[in-house]
Amino acid sequence: MSSCLVLHQSSNFQWLNKQTGNDQPISQWVARDDKSGEFKRGVSQFRNFISREPGAQFPPEKGRYHLYVSYACPWAHRTLITRKLKGLEEFIPVTSVHWHMGEKGWRFVTPDERLPGADVHPDPLHPQFTHLRDIYFDVDPEYKGRFTVPTLYDTKTKHIVSNESSEIIRMFYHEFDDLLPEPYKSLDLFPPSLQSQIESSNEWIYNDVNNGVYKSGFATTQEAYEKAVTTLFSSLDKIESHLASRQQIENKLTYFGDGITESDIRLYTTIVRFDPVYVQHFKTNLRDIRSGYPAIHRWLRHLYWDVPAFRETTQFEHIKKHYTKSHPQINQFAITPVGPVPDILPKDEEVKAVVAALK
Ligand SMILES: N[C@@H](CCC(=O)N[C@@H](CS)C(=O)NCC(=O)O)C(=O)O
């Protein structure tokens, strides 16, 4: 453990003044001096790549890299789905943090805690570390940024390879292919023929939907909230008509092409959290998915119920408790709403009002 880390852990003064390495408390989602009240997501700081190119700094190797995630987090969820779809579970071990994010950020569970989901355990690489931030400061005592999941860590060089989910999933697409058996080796989640469509939809779906729910929920002015929520719902309307025509005209259940692609992965992790959390916690309540967006609902339930990589990486207890119990500025008493029940509907059930409307 670096001496700097000991300093961070032992001094309350340091905690108060350096909670994110940039003098903002962890829970300060909108910068204090930002009068717009708009949530602006920071840029990830570690941006290296695992590559199978000869001489690469981070070559693909079984067991070399460790992935730190939270089951609650939609960005980390992308990496868990991709890892499973590509058959990388034996190659890239995972540790999930506890669902609660406090003033010191994400923490590891203690040895006696039992939470749902695979791989929720203390940090196996640094058993003395209590929080994810300990890894960031161990790697860089001067780190100035947020301590985010996913974090892809190299056990050999003791560096963070990347803490940017959109890039981690792309490393998983092909860089390990030489080590993988079929059918994982030839699974292409970003096929050349669809890349430009995927890229251009990523841009607005990221801004308006994936990050849009946070812009709505973390807004600190009425104007910022209304701007985010109306943009979010007009983008959901656009996604609904795209998926409805895919389902009705092309008879396809995925977002583009014939199989699952990056677009499905990136959209799913927001949509599966929408009804259970975002509708009430982030006030994204012009409609919900189950009663307001039939084509999105059908697409969501196809991925959840028919594709194990989606269902097995979706842990509703982590999701519901994380948001509702980690944001005191939004939910002072940390009460987790019971509904909606169930978290996700079976494929052959609809909410009663939808059934009545269809009669
Ligand atoms: N752009 C990053 C965002 C990751 C991110 O913001 N993760 C959240 C959890 S959902 C986090 O760890 N936040 C901790 C913090 O900001 O203090 C990515 O896609 O990987």
Q: Which atom of ligand 1 is nearest to the CA of 78?
A: 19
Task: Please state, in angstroms and rounded to a whole number, the distance separating the CA atoms of residues 246 and 143.
Answer: 46
Query: What is d(CA 275, CA 285) in angstroms, rounded to the nearest whole number?
Result: 9
> For every one of its 359 residues, what pLDDT tens digit does the chain have, with 9 covering 90 and above?
333 332 233 233 233 334 555 556 777 767 767 778 888 777 888 999 999 999 999 999 999 999 999 999 999 999 999 999 999 999 999 999 999 999 999 999 999 999 999 999 999 999 999 999 999 999 999 999 999 999 999 999 999 999 999 999 999 999 999 999 999 999 999 999 999 999 999 999 999 999 999 999 999 999 999 999 999 999 999 999 999 999 999 999 999 999 999 999 999 999 999 999 999 999 999 999 999 999 999 999 999 999 999 999 999 999 999 999 999 999 999 999 999 999 999 999 999 888 888 78
Q: State the amino acid at position 290 in one-letter form.
A: R
Kindly give the distance from the C-alpha atom of residue 355 to the centroid of ligand 1, in angstroms, as a whole number: 38
Which residue in this structure is represented by tokens 């963070």?
160
Domains along the chain? 3-179 (3.40.30.10), 194-358 (1.20.1050.10)
Catalytic: 214?
yes
**73, 262, 273, 323, best to mutate for ligand 1 pocket (most atoms within 8 Å of CB):** 73
CA of 356 to the centre of ligand 1 (A): 40
At 71, the amino acid letter reads Y
C-beta of residue 195 within 8 angstroms of C-beta of residue 211: no
Among the atoms of ligand 1, which is closest to the Cα of residue 164? 20
Nearest atom in ligand 1 to the alpha carbon of residue 72 is 10
Bridge partners of residue 69, in order along the sequence:
96
Q: Which of 9, 146, 168 is nearest to 77 (CA)?
A: 168
Distance of CA 148 to the CA centre of its chain: 10
Query: Which protein residue has the closest C-alpha to ligand 1 atom 2?
Result: 164
CA of 148 to the centre of ligand 1 (A): 4
**Is the pTM higher than 0.80?**
yes
Task: Return the percent helix, strand and coil in the chain, to nearest 5.
Answer: 45, 5, 50
- Report the DSSP beta bridge partners of residue 106: 101
How is the beta sheet containing 65-69 ordered, strand by strand? 94-96, 65-69, 151-154, 159-162
Do the strands 105-106 and 101-102 form a parallel or antiparallel pair, or are they unpaired? antiparallel
73 is annotated as an active-site residue: yes
φ, ψ of residue 38 to 5 degrees: the values are -95, 135
Residues 6+ apart with CB under 8 A from 155: 63, 64, 65, 66, 125
